[in-house]
Amino acid sequence: MGTFELFKAHLTRITDLKMISSMMNWDMETYMPEKGGFYRGQQMATLSGIIHQMAIDPRLGKWIAQLQKDNQLNAVQKRSVALAKRGFERSGKYNEAFVVELSTTISASHQAWQKARAADDFSIFAPMLEKIVSIKRRECEILGYQDHPYDALIDQFEPGTTTAEVDTLFTEVRAQLMDFVHRIQLKQTPEVDFLYAAYPTNEQWDYGLALLQQMGYDFKAGRQDVSAHPFSTTFSPEDVRITTRVEEKNFYGMVWSCIHEGGHALYEQGMPTQYYGLPVCEYVSLGIHESQSRLWENNVGRSMSFWQNNFDALKNRFPEQLNGVSLSGFYRAINAVRPSLIRTHADELTYHFHILIRYKIEKALIEGSLEVRDLPAYWNACYKEYLGIDVPSDAEGVLQDIHWSHGSFGYFPTYSIGSFYAAQFYHQATKDIDNLEDEIASGNLKPLLGWLRKNIHQHGKMYTARELCERTTGEPLSFQYFMDYAFKKYGALYDMKVENVL
Ligand SMILES: [Zn+2]
């Protein structure tokens, strides 16, 4: 076997094991019986140990070094070697003691967080969070960074993005979006109660499947199941699963989380299968992944065109719940802008304030300018400042998200970055596709999916997020596209004069 074949075979075995681990995790979240947890945790830890050993195998380092000198490689092979080199170097920085300490702390911290949230008592979680923060600060030193320790953390989720860039972006978000949301708040809030009426769960389930079908999700390469928290997961581009949560009085949550996870899954189903095992058959970054879910959820799923095609059928399915509701009333309700306590319930505008707050806090914790013990008071002050609301309890405040208990620092900004990419991609799609809005209004989503396949999905990780954005839209990420989308859509919805429209 040639060096590239050896290299590829090794990486493919690592990918196989990672996919097996994803499958075990999927099972744990969906069908695993109550008592299965202990040994499942052990099995998954064993597997990650094996994966780590394979990732730091000196033979891999040797093959990478040889391949770097090989000028016969094609573009996909070159990119694979470059990405593998980065992964190899990163894995090599962690010693085993650190990996074990990190994973045991995370599992203890996750349990403490669950207890603390159930008891609405931050003091149960605080000591573990202090440990997590201190480990993460060490991790920044292990990984290395240029200007700010947080650079090392964000780079794990949004490769190449720096704290300074996020600072610049979020300063702009705050300046433009806050003023706009304040102006919206002076307007009358639309009627939304019918979205939270009782919708039979079996009917909801069927409706969710119909939506996925319409989007082009391939049920021969995936399936939908129920879990406590909706997610999507990949075992290969030919087996990409989605989960959803169905509650009688949360039809609203079910519909848009189905569309959201469907968007993630379409991205994974569109990956270049022929490169399975190589790092080019992976997603670019969490921000790009999130751009795919949010483009479907918001730019499509909360648009007038989409519901022009879907509203009558929806009303036929749920005639009592939607009795007396017009298409325009429905459209206003699904786009109601209201500051709220819980990030995952937020509308597409105020959502970003939830992210700005978390970013500010985690950056401060990592740089050491904020102490864990001061966190609840600081959190509540931020909610007052950014969203104008009082936080009644820590369970609905600082304890609401799982991320910090998992040690996921640097993850939150990718949610907002994803929405901003989505706006920019969607803007470009409307330029590239003739009458896109009319196609959507007539129920034809194929041109849009085709466009995403061609411009985003099929490239896998051939390009960085920045390169992909420039290739697709002609320029790097610009917040202006999101603001333009917001001005147009919400300016019309709330009958406001808007300026600065592109
Ligand atoms: Zn998502």
DSSP 337-385: ----S-GGG--TTTHHHHHHHHHHHHHHHHHTSS-GGGHHHHHHHHHHH
Dist. CA 238 → ligand 1 center (Å): 20
List phi, psi (to 5°) of 477: -55, 130
pLDDT attached to residue 502: 47
Q: What is the pLDDT of residues 185-230, one digit of tens each?
A: 999 889 999 999 999 999 999 999 999 999 999 999 999 999 988 9
pLDDT attached to residue 237: 97
Dist. CA 261 → ligand 1 center (Å): 6
Q: Tell me the mean pLDDT per 10 residues along the chain, length 502.
A: 96 98 93 90 89 96 98 97 97 89 87 94 97 97 96 96 97 95 92 96 97 98 94 97 96 96 98 98 98 98 98 97 97 96 95 98 97 97 97 97 94 98 98 98 98 98 98 97 96 81 48
Structural domains present in the chain: 3-146 (1.20.58)
Dist. CA 268 → ligand 1 center (Å): 13
What are the catalytic residues? Answer: 261
Tokens matching residue 44 = 């998954």
Dist. CA 389 → ligand 1 center (Å): 25
The contacts of residue 62 (CB under 8 Å, 6+ apart) are none
pLDDT attached to residue 41: 84
3-state helix, strand, coil in the chain (%, to 5): 70, 5, 30
| Nearest to 265, CA basis, from 296, 297, 234 | 234
Q: What is the pLDDT of residues 319-363, one digit of tens each?
A: 999 999 999 999 999 999 999 999 999 999 999 999 999 999 999
pLDDT attached to residue 265: 98
- Alpha-carbon torsion angle 334, 338, 339, 343, nearest 10: -10
**How many whole angstroms from its chain centre is CA 4?**
33
At residue 234, the 3 state secondary structure works out as strand
Q: What is the pLDDT of residues 70-104, one digit of tens each?
A: 999 999 999 999 999 999 999 999 988 898 888 88
pLDDT attached to residue 334: 97
| Nearest to 421, CA basis, from 476, 500, 489, 484 | 476
**Bridging pattern class, strands 239-244 and 232-236:** antiparallel
Secondary structure element (H or E) that encloses residue 240, with its range = strand 239-244
